Amino acid sequence: MGDSTKRIPQPVVKRLTRYLTQLQALLERGDEWVSSDELADAMGLSSSTVRQDISHLDFSGISKRGYATQGLADVLMRVLGADSPVNVVIVGAGNLGRALALHGNFSRSDIHICAVFDADPKVVGSRIGSIKVRPMRDLPKVVQANNVGIGIIAVPGASAQTVADHLIAAGVAGLLNLASTHILAPRDVAVVDTRILASLRELCYAIKVAPRGKSRT
Amino acid sequence: MGDSTKRIPQPVVKRLTRYLTQLQALLERGDEWVSSDELADAMGLSSSTVRQDISHLDFSGISKRGYATQGLADVLMRVLGADSPVNVVIVGAGNLGRALALHGNFSRSDIHICAVFDADPKVVGSRIGSIKVRPMRDLPKVVQANNVGIGIIAVPGASAQTVADHLIAAGVAGLLNLASTHILAPRDVAVVDTRILASLRELCYAIKVAPRGKSRT
DNA sequence: TAGATTGTTAATCGATTAACAATC
DNA sequence: TAGATTGTTAATCGATTAACAATC
């Protein structure tokens, strides 16, 4: 039985976000029930892990039938905080910042991008879709006025820490760091690094130690 | 002492890629030596973890002085496969694909983006920087001709699996998946998900359970 | 030398997996 | 009912941390 008072471990939270994505796909297909085994198969896990993870939630499946897709999705939304909208700002109106601001998935979700900022006066004032790029000095004002919870850092590594400091000072509670450098933040500010370049390096290592064709033991 | 025959655990590889980034920054600053403690501080780890990680490598520090920055960087490059160039293709010439193709960091590294593909005939033929967008039917040819090791999936979730299948059939050994859906691949193909949307959900959870100001125990 | 820092072992911690009784 | 699937406990596995002797 789930105990909503306990903090859910990070690896479990990571998987829960994936379950939610998967459940939403199942809902679109009209599947009313899903078993731990089906979920596990779809995401490359064992059914044991899935059940263990779900046991962190305040939600029960039914023997022989599995989990109610809609019900589980609802609980996950609530637990992950995906049921209440979050305001987000993006700093950096370069290619990556633009791509994120235009990314359709956000508009369909509870994540609302309410402003894009850039330090370059030449970029300030231009439009990304329906969003106007604003100067950095507006940051504190916008963050406070819109109760912005998350700042997305989409600037080169060299300025990432400075931008982070500004966002933290403005009052955001979480940072999504798209730059490749590590960011230092006080403990009460959550930081998630996407590290795309690092992921590529991981891949390079993986294909080096286990090239295709060479079967592993 | 490092044993180059043993596979390095995934969490360690992840951190090694970060060490490399950090070391390269230190090199630019001209630092010749770095201690486990300094590295740990810069990345929010303990010095014990850093030493433990480095012990996987065939590299020794020197008591009282630490690690030779250049030497450690060199070994990391070799171990991670960052010393030999890798050819990469991007599938999807949308905002995200374009952003990646134009991303400066790659050109400065051993990662070489040699082609961008798109299924949309309206996009095929257009240019992204110096790269021309090619039709999907050219994929197998290009992958084989350039010995492409990694395919980057920058398409919407709905077509991600199809694109993955094409890339796998063409012969890539690794996939970087920027779509939010999970991808199934044979065991000899490495897959790394970036899951930007999932990272944002993680952040939502983090700021929900531990909002700023509410000090944790 | 004395002190700082590595390399490594052992202890702790936490996550995953296996197994199975409970149950629909 | 018989069989499938959950929920949960216990066992395993692996990663992190702590500690400290070796060493420059």
> In Å, what is the separation between the CA of B215 and the C1' of D14?
31
Mean pLDDT of A131-143: 98
- Identify the pLDDT of residue B5: 59
Contact B156, B164 (CB under 8 A): no
pLDDT bracket for residue B109 (50, 70, 90) = confident
b (16+ CB within 10 A) / e for A99-130: bbbbbebbeebbbebbbbbbbeeebbeeebee
Give the model's pLDDT for residue B106.
72
Contact of A15 with A36, CB cutoff 8 Å = no
Chain B residues in contact with A168 (beta carbon < 8 A): none
- Write down the H helix ranges in B131-170: 139-146, 157-170
Determine what percent of chain B is predicted with pLDDT higher than 90: 84
Q: Residues A148, A150, A154, A156: what is their CA dihedral angle, to the nearest 10 degrees? A: 110
Task: Assess whether pLDDT exceeds 80 at residue B168.
Answer: yes
* Beta carbons of B33 and B66 less than 8 angstroms apart: yes
User: What's the pLDDT band for B210 if we cut at 50, 70, 90?
Assistant: confident
- For the entire predicted model, the pTM comes to 0.92
The residues that bridge with B193 in the sheet, in sequence order, are B177
Residue range A28-46: mean pLDDT, rounded? 95
To the nearest whole Å, the CA of B62 is away from the closest chain A CA by 26
Q: Is B196 on the interface with A (CB under 8 A)?
A: yes
Percent of residues, chain A, with pLDDT higher than 70: 94
Contact yes or no for B194 and A199 at CB 8 A: yes
Q: Rounded CA gap, B158 and B145, in Å?
A: 29
Residue A39's pLDDT band (cuts 50, 70, 90)? very high
Average pLDDT, chain A: 92
Which residues on chain A are in Cβ contact (under 8 Å) with B201?
17, 20, 80-82
Q: What is the mean pLDDT of residues B54-68?
A: 97
Look at residue A212 in the predicted model and tell me its pLDDT: 87
Residue B43's Cα: distance from chain center in Å? Answer: 17
List, chain by chain, residues whose CB lies under 7 Å from nucleic acid strand C. Answer: A 9-12, 45-46, 48-49, 51-52, 62-65; B 1, 35-37, 47-48, 51-52, 54-55, 59-67
CB neighbourhood size of B47 (10 A):
14
Phi, psi of A73 (to 5 degrees): -60, -45
pLDDT at A216 > cutoff 50: no
Between CA B68 and CA B72 the distance in angstroms is 6
Cβ contact, residue pair A88, B200, below 8 Å: yes
Is A97 (CB) below 7 Å from strand D? no
Q: What is the DSSP string of A9-51?
A: PHHHHHHHHHHHHHHHHHHHHT--EE-HHHHHHHHT--HHHHH
